[in-house]
Chain A
Amino acid sequence: MSETTVPPGSRAFEPLPQSFDVRITEPVSLTGLTLLVGTKKGLFYLTAGSGRAHFALSGPAFLGHIVHHAVVDPRDRRTLVVALRTGHLGPTVFRSTDFGASWHEASKPPAFGKPKDARRSLAVEQVFWLTPGHVDEPGVWYAGTSPEGLFRSEDGGDVWQPVSGWNDHPKWIEWTGDMGQRNPDGSPIHSILIDPRDARHMYFGTGSAGVFETTDQGASWKLLNTGMLSPAGPDPHPEYGYDPHCMQLHPQAPDLLYQQNHCGIYRMHRPEARWVRVGDNMPREIGDIGFPIALHPRDPQTAWVFPMDGTDAWPRTCPGGRPAVYRTRDGGESWTRLDAGFPQRAWYTVLRQSMAVDAQPTAGVYFGTTNGEVWGSVDEGERWSCLAAHLPHVYSVEVADFAR
């Protein structure tokens, strides 16, 4: 038996911590607390056992399909809507009204209308984001697409109509920019947020213009960019040209908005209408670049981010290769590093839809990675365990708490 020499500077292989049981099961009708994991090759499920002591992996549904987002309807806790496409076919939406046991394609998926302006013959490339509507509007859903289209369904995701106030806005081309210079994965509408006090009051983000707000349910839109830093161009504070990666509104304090931006972490008290860069309170060697931000279900001052390396060539992997979640308990004024359980080195990315929080008395926090892992903490980030590994590239993680 020969001895193995470890070269200087190298590290021994670190196995993934597996304190959770991982059970592979056949796809079944879903129940209880379940993570919906959208990946480049299909939809997987991680269903929590008693006390969240283990998570059972099942799926995939839609094997071979690129699943950008899978969301449960919190109003009935049984309807699922999934945005997907394959590499060769067009984008579409599937729905299940029986806890994932059977799926039906939307009879009219999101698609742009025939253009009034010959310059813009648009086609949806991907349905990227799904948001269930206001609690007073059962059956209403919104979808954000790439290129930047906004769509609405009033029948639980079966028939989708363009929101003309946005898609046909006279400034659409100006705001969405040059079609030839889009992001590698498309330039979507994301973070569609609905004010729980008023179904007509909504926000969304784009990677080309910034944050938009409507108070008439999408008939008219105005920019909400004051205070942000623009990532490109000679003017750091133009009217538009910002890149909010992920924006959240706290359901119990809907005048409080947070966003993880291309250029930092921001918070807004809505009456002030000014973004404040609370990411300046992050450790300087970590920075405040990233994709997701997730909020506590009950405490508006608590949020989690997963910082990415925004130096040099902007690798947007874990800074220094050391994965860590950062949590604030005071609205971003201070941040705590949470890395217990993570490997000492990892080089993945966590995308904007890939972090989610459950509503349990002690909140569970979950994220998926571009190398196919799903991590979870059932104590608000103090200790982390790998819930699943060896999955495809993870695009989204959402929590579903099914009504049975």
Chain B
Amino acid sequence: MKVAIPSVLQSYTRGAHSVDAYGATLADLLADLDARFPGIRFRMVSEADALRPHVRIFVNREAVTDLRCALSPTDDVVIVQALSGG
């Protein structure tokens, strides 16, 4: 499936703003992304398996916070960085 990558993570995807990755769940998808682009997952997900506070993931335009969320191959996944403050 297509995964949209925010600018702040495009250093990992060699500049690509959209990449292909696969997984039956969001956790699997993030693991697959990390295999393709080493280090990218830890910037988004802590060692406690929680999304970091300023990272949002949308699946088919719905915000998802549970990494166990099931995915299908036609899903549209968008990763967004949401920074506040100066």
A174-188 interface (Cβ within 8 A of B): none
B7 to A: closest C-beta gap in Å: 10
Inter-chain contact B44/A123, CB cutoff 8 Å: no
Instruction: Select one of A89, A107, A113, A122 contacting B44, CB under 8 A.
Output: A89
Q: Label chain B's interface by main secondary structure.
A: loop
Inter-chain contact B8/A112, CB cutoff 8 Å: no
Contacts of B55 in A (CB 8 A): 88-89
Asked if B38 CB lies within 8 Å of chain A CBs, one says yes
Instruction: Select one of A89, A113, A114, A123 contacting B43, CB under 8 A.
Output: A89
Contacts of B82 in A (CB 8 A): 88
CB-nearest residue of chain A relative to B47?
Answer: A111
Instruction: Select one of B9, B45, B48, B52 contacting A122, CB under 8 A.
Output: B48
Q: How large is the interface on A (under 10, 10 to 19, 20 to 34, 35 or more residues)?
A: 10 to 19
Q: A109-135 interface mask toward B, CB cutoff 8 Å, 1 = contact, 0 = none?
A: 101111000000111100000000000
Inter-chain contact B39/A89, CB cutoff 8 Å: no
Q: B57-86 interface mask toward A, CB cutoff 8 Å, 1 = contact, 0 = none?
A: 000000000000000000000000111110
Instruction: Select one of B38, B43, B54 contacting A107, CB under 8 A.
Output: B38
A46-67 interface (Cβ within 8 A of B): 64
CB-nearest residue of chain A relative to B12?
Answer: A105
CB-nearest residue of chain B relative to A113?
Answer: B47
CB-nearest residue of chain A relative to B45?
Answer: A90
Asked if A317 CB lies within 8 Å of chain B CBs, one says no
Instruction: Select one of A89, A111, A123 contacting B50, CB under 8 A.
Output: A123
B79 to A: closest C-beta gap in Å: 11
Instruction: Select one of B45, B47, B53 contacting A124, CB under 8 A.
Output: B47
Instruction: Select one of A88, A105, A112 contacting B47, CB under 8 A.
Output: A112
Inter-chain contact B52/A90, CB cutoff 8 Å: yes
Q: A83-99 interface mask toward B, CB cutoff 8 Å, 1 = contact, 0 = none?
A: 00011111010000000
Contacts of B52 in A (CB 8 A): 88-90
Binding site for A on B (CB under 8 A): 8-9, 38-39, 42-48, 50, 52-55, 81-85
Binding site for B on A (CB under 8 A): 64, 86-90, 92, 105, 107, 109, 111-114, 121-124
Q: List 29 A-B contacts (CB under 8 A).
A: A64-B8, A87-B84, A88-B8, A88-B53, A88-B54, A88-B55, A88-B81, A88-B83, A89-B9, A89-B43, A89-B44, A89-B54, A89-B55, A90-B42, A90-B43, A90-B46, A92-B42, A92-B43, A107-B39, A109-B39, A111-B42, A111-B47, A112-B47, A113-B47, A114-B47, A122-B47, A122-B48, A123-B47, A124-B46
